[in-house]
Structure 1
Amino acid sequence: MNLSSRLSQTVKEYGDKPAFIFEGTETSYSQLEGEINKFANRLRELGIKKGDHVAIILGNSPYFVISLYGALKVGATIIPVNPIYTPYEIAYIINNGDVKAVVTLDLLIPLLENLHERIQMIEHIIVCETPLSENKEELDITKLSIFHKMVSFTKLLSTSSSQFDGPVLEDEDVAVILYTSGTTGKPKGAMLTHKNLYSNAIDTANYLKISKNDVIVTALPMFHVFCLTVALNAPLMNGATLLIVPRFSPQVITHLIKTYHATLFAGVPTMYNFLLQYENASQEDVQTLRLCISGGASMPVALLKGFEQKYKVIVSEGYGLSEASPVTCFNPLDRPRKPGSIGTSIINVENKVVNELGEECQPNQVGELIVKGPNVMKGYYKMPEETAYTIRDGWLYTGDLARQDEEGYFYIVDRKKDMIIVGGYNVYPREVEEVIYSHRDVVEVAVLGVPDSNLGEAVKCFVVVKNNELTEELLIEYCKEHLAKYKVPGSIEFLEELPKNTTGKILRRALKQQILQK
């Protein structure tokens, strides 16, 4: 069984039921399958075959769902890409990921045009049309260098059959490559197989008791693995209905919950914080919710309690990582929830805390969290050494420090060394440092996270320069050219020199202490 075959089974059981609702329009499971099959047929006609790589550079929309499942049916490997990434970041992923075709918004055509010399391996650009707006540039596409590669998503579907007979999909075939920030400064492509994704989706759905009666608010970004499994694949496996939200806002979320009697909401702590601070909503607006799910970053206990007190709904915090498809833990629904805990191992997944020798720790002893199960990735794309280091004897070493109590509940004590989590997104200091180091007036830099009331953490930089005319504003603008918005430093502090030990290594601990003293 895989995501594609399971969805076909769901269609047979709940064909007339809404698979998703987008901007007030319902699409049934039968209609969705027809669109998926049309897309798959046209992909095959374009020459996309099993094993080819297709990048999806889209936000939350029906386009994403149809593209994802259509490409899966063909046997292609999907590479989801954050549409707000800079040209530098997108070009790296397309090149490193050996992408043959791209599905993207018409708004991003100018970006791809500027990159055309660096992404010449792309054979097809499938363009998803967005509504006309005042901000939309008038563009004569016939004059573009990439024009001959472009094809309309809508036209593709209008001239295709709704029946599709695809290739056999093996469990170990790579279905998705998720690029995660790497400690080396370059993103790593986590290869997730059909077995990885299906097992985690169905196990998560069953663990959270998702059924055909559920309506889930899909507001997390679909290109992110948290949404991909918990708020997209898992609900579709069991016949639930998605409320697809293009962009998060407390007003929109509470309105949708009340209007469509939503039963599940999945979000990162930042979303919960905005909902808590939103004054125009109360328990009455969200009374149909049976459960809220939190992940992507640790939720402060004060926020969790404040949200639950205001809206009178339980928040189940969990844990996951891209390399595990991603879910490994959730607070159970049939036992007491423990604030501050990521819960217990989900069905078919084993979590364990080990010391530096790989030996299992005693209860409440801190060690590294490692994971084993059918959800653990095949490896990193074209990175055998990184794969061998991360997966040992079948166990995925997360790099996160954790402890487990006597009742089997896990607690994250600290994150991967130096990693910053901004609004649920991972930011590795090395990646930001490399960009800043590339500025001609920078001598050295150290990047670390500082507390932020809205986003959980923000990126802060300590920089030594050789030209005192380089200001904080100029350097931040430079970063915006090379980094996604959430990776851009919120503040930059200029120092005469950075603290170092006797070997010349920068002492981040000293910088953190300096922040605490202010």
Structure 2
Amino acid sequence: MSDFLWYGAYPAGIPHTIDPDSIPNIPAILDAAAKKFPKRTGYTNLGANLSYTDAEKRSKEFAAYLQSLPDLKPGDRVAVMMPNLLQYVVAVFGILRAGMTVVNINPLYTAREVHHSLKDSGAKAIVIIENFARTLEQAVPGTSCTRFILTGAGDMLSFPKREIVNFMIRHVKKMVPAYALPGAVNFRDALSIGRSAGFKPVDVKSSDLAFLQYTGGTTGVAKGAELTHRNMIANVLQVSAWISQRFKEGEETVLTALPLYHVFSLTATMVFTHWAAEMVLITNPRNLDSLAGECVKHDVSVIIGVNTLFAALLRNPVFKRAKLKRLKLTCGGGAQVQKVVAEEWLAQTQCPILEAYGLTECSPAVCGNIPGAPWDGSVGVPIPSTEVSIRGDGFRDLGFCPEGEDPTPYTGEICVKGPQVMRGYWKKPEETAGVIRDGWLRTGDVGHMDHRGVVYITDRKKDMIIVSGFNVYPNEVENVIAAMPGVLEVGVTGVSSPKSGETVKAVIVKKDPALTEEDVKNWCRKELTRYKVPHVIVFVESLPKTPVGKILRRELKDL
């Protein structure tokens, strides 16, 4: 890879390239951590710890269980449907160790959505927390899934805490509805069977499919992005290189509040396993007092989150009192971090939010700000072994915006090339051909690159609002409104208009009950060109979001 514009922004010591073939497969990342730090706690959840050695052993037991099933073989898909639990870590490394492919499923999905993921992927087995077994029961007919491994939330805890936690969830809180899944096996029993059977090593190649990560569910039928072991390892090494100047192997503690079934959190966990960090897995991130308490208890050095999580923590009284002496990295992704949130976070924690950019199809990281740099509204520069090109009409490279010039002529679709780019969409050759052209992944995101190689995201192509022929990008309007003292949260979308084709609609959660529509419009008139000022303003109690905090703009239209 020749020298690129953005290499000039790299701090000393960060390599321009990585070798995605230096690690044979994903389980090798865990094995290396267990060999070097055998007694180090790798994962903590619900008061229980799993050392790297234990994680390696348990994952081999689960892999052996899968090998004992006559209808499963390497290459088959196994679904995982649960929140952040120790069981998730064991199951995923076990599935990959057995040479099979993980299909992550959001446990909050409806039966229709679960059915689509199971049917489309052809998954033959699923590991699921029992709380959602009834949903699975409704989703299974018409799919290839016939093996069910069920776990209770407390199954990895020691006796008697295990029995107490599961009893409370099942019988006191009544969080496990009745279900019927013939032949279902308990997770602990599966480990016992695997322990007796013994694990038979599998030659897992870097080109093998590791994950089917379903994406695009908010804009249409979800598609399975094919992420190989090599794709994921490349991103692990790219991100590891990016943070290498600030981290110490075997000494970091990471708050993992985002769900592991989401690629952002999933890859971050692989990265910090590579660093032999301790990961504090949060099962219920909505309990902010508990979440903040875990930050303090474990004196975390890393927090991975999204804008909505950071904003919620800043308002939490427990977090406000917290003194996180070791915090050295806060990484924001999934959706743009708003300026007002970034500034408040820095003032309260003295740790700037490192904003990154990625997408499921890129495993997911593409760009990142320099660790420790203050928020500037950009997503930073391409990470090692990654090329970014801004493309216009006819797929023409628009180049970079010279210093001091208007970026508009240099604004186009962000395209990416690198070893982390997916193999394609599962069983969708036409859709794959539509997004991968000449080795470049067309992201569908709009932005520009400045004279230093720094990338700025304008918006998602499909979210763009066109008012009387003028382009309006929701992120810009959201950032302006979010800076209002009386606004807690805001989402912006376009709605049809007989006069202008589309007009701007803002959906707002109030911080100040006295806030009015006119207040918002007056504020926007000071900051935005007339056609960007919202014509429709709706006040609501909460915004519709995905599990990782992204605002569902399509649902804003109907509010």
Q: What's the TM-score bracket when you normalise by the shorter of the two chains?
A: 0.7 to 0.9
Matched, 1:291 2:329: yes
Judge conservation of contact 1:67–1:103 (CA < 8 Å) in 2: yes
| TM-score with structure 1 setting the length | 0.79
The percentage of counterpart residues that share the same residue type is 29
Judge conservation of contact 1:319–1:329 (CA < 8 Å) in 2: yes
The aligned runs of 1:195-274 (5 Å cut-off) are 195-209=230-244, 210=247, 211-230=249-268, 232-248=269-285, 249-274=287-312
> C-alpha deviations, 1:201-248, integer Å up to 9, x for none?
122122123432111001101010010012x11100121110011021
| Shift in alpha-carbon separation, 1:399–1:170, aligned structure 2, 3 A | same
> C-alpha deviations, 1:244-303, integer Å up to 9, x for none?
110214322322222112100000100011012223333752222111000000111111
Q: Which one of the candidate residues 358, 383, 386 is aligned to 2:428?
A: 383
| Shift in alpha-carbon separation, 1:183–1:223, aligned structure 2, 3 A | closer
| Shift in alpha-carbon separation, 1:449–1:89, aligned structure 2, 3 A | farther
Judge conservation of contact 1:283–1:311 (CA < 8 Å) in 2: no
Partner of 2:29: 6
| Shift in alpha-carbon separation, 1:10–1:91, aligned structure 2, 3 A | same
Judge conservation of contact 1:105–1:128 (CA < 8 Å) in 2: yes
Matched, 1:160 2:166: no
Q: 2:79 & 2:59 partners in 1: Cα distance?
A: 16
Matched, 1:341 2:407: no
Judge conservation of contact 2:400–2:453 (CA < 8 Å) in 1: no
Partner of 1:23: 46
The 3-state SS of whatever aligns with 2:314 is: helix
Partner of 2:9: none
**CA RMSD, Structure 1 to Structure 2 (Å):** 2.9
Matched, 1:418 2:418: no
Q: 2:382 & 2:177 partners in 1: Cα distance?
A: 51
Q: 1:74 & 1:84 partners in 2: Cα distance?
A: 27
Amino acid at match of 1:38: E
Q: Which one of the candidate residues 187, 194, 197 is aligned to 2:222?
A: 187
Partner of 2:82: 58
The 3-state SS of whatever aligns with 1:352 is: strand
Unpaired runs of at least 5, structure 1: 430-445, 456-478, 494-518
Amino acid at match of 1:194: H
Which piece of structure 1 moves more, 356-365 or 313-322?
356-365
> C-alpha deviations, 1:81-122, integer Å up to 9, x for none?
000011111111111111110110111221222234233x21
The 3-state SS of whatever aligns with 2:419 is: coil
**1:485 shift after superposition:** 12
Which piece of structure 1 moves more, 165-174 or 10-19?
165-174
> C-alpha deviations, 1:40-69, integer Å up to 9, x for none?
000110132211011101111011111110
Judge conservation of contact 1:84–1:485 (CA < 8 Å) in 2: no
| Shift in alpha-carbon separation, 1:190–1:35, aligned structure 2, 3 A | same
**1:183 shift after superposition:** 8.0
Matched, 1:105 2:140: no
Q: 1:260 & 1:182 partners in 2: Cα distance?
A: 35
Q: 1:451 & 1:342 partners in 2: Cα distance?
A: 25
Judge conservation of contact 2:339–2:375 (CA < 8 Å) in 1: no
The 3-state SS of whatever aligns with 1:160 is: helix
Q: 1:217 & 1:454 partners in 2: Cα distance?
A: 29
Matched, 1:95 2:153: no
| Shift in alpha-carbon separation, 1:307–1:31, aligned structure 2, 3 A | same
The 3-state SS of whatever aligns with 1:492 is: coil
Judge conservation of contact 1:43–1:71 (CA < 8 Å) in 2: yes
Judge conservation of contact 1:274–1:454 (CA < 8 Å) in 2: no
Matched, 1:320 2:358: yes
**1:197 shift after superposition:** 0.7
Partner of 1:506: none
The aligned runs of 1:20-169 (5 Å cut-off) are 20-47=43-70, 48-119=72-143, 121-130=144-153, 131-132=166-167, 133=169, 134-136=172-174, 144=180, 146-148=181-183, 150-161=184-195, 164-169=199-204
Partner of 2:523: none
Partner of 1:175: 210
**1:139 shift after superposition:** 6.7
Judge conservation of contact 1:368–1:400 (CA < 8 Å) in 2: yes
Judge conservation of contact 1:200–1:229 (CA < 8 Å) in 2: yes
**1:453 shift after superposition:** 4.7
Partner of 2:419: 374
Partner of 2:387: 350
The 3-state SS of whatever aligns with 2:461 is: coil
The 3-state SS of whatever aligns with 1:99 is: coil
| Shift in alpha-carbon separation, 1:85–1:160, aligned structure 2, 3 A | same
Matched, 1:304 2:342: yes
Amino acid at match of 2:387: E
Q: 1:49 & 1:181 partners in 2: Cα distance?
A: 29
**1:137 shift after superposition:** 6.2
**1:168 shift after superposition:** 1.2
Judge conservation of contact 1:355–1:361 (CA < 8 Å) in 2: no
Unpaired runs of at least 5, structure 2: 1-23, 154-165, 402-406, 465-473, 479-490, 494-501, 512-543
> C-alpha deviations, 1:434-471, integer Å up to 9, x for none?
xxxxxxxxxxxx9997444599xxxxxxxxxxxxxxxx
The count of corresponding residues between Structure 1 and Structure 2 is 440
| TM-score with structure 2 setting the length | 0.73
Judge conservation of contact 2:292–2:318 (CA < 8 Å) in 1: no
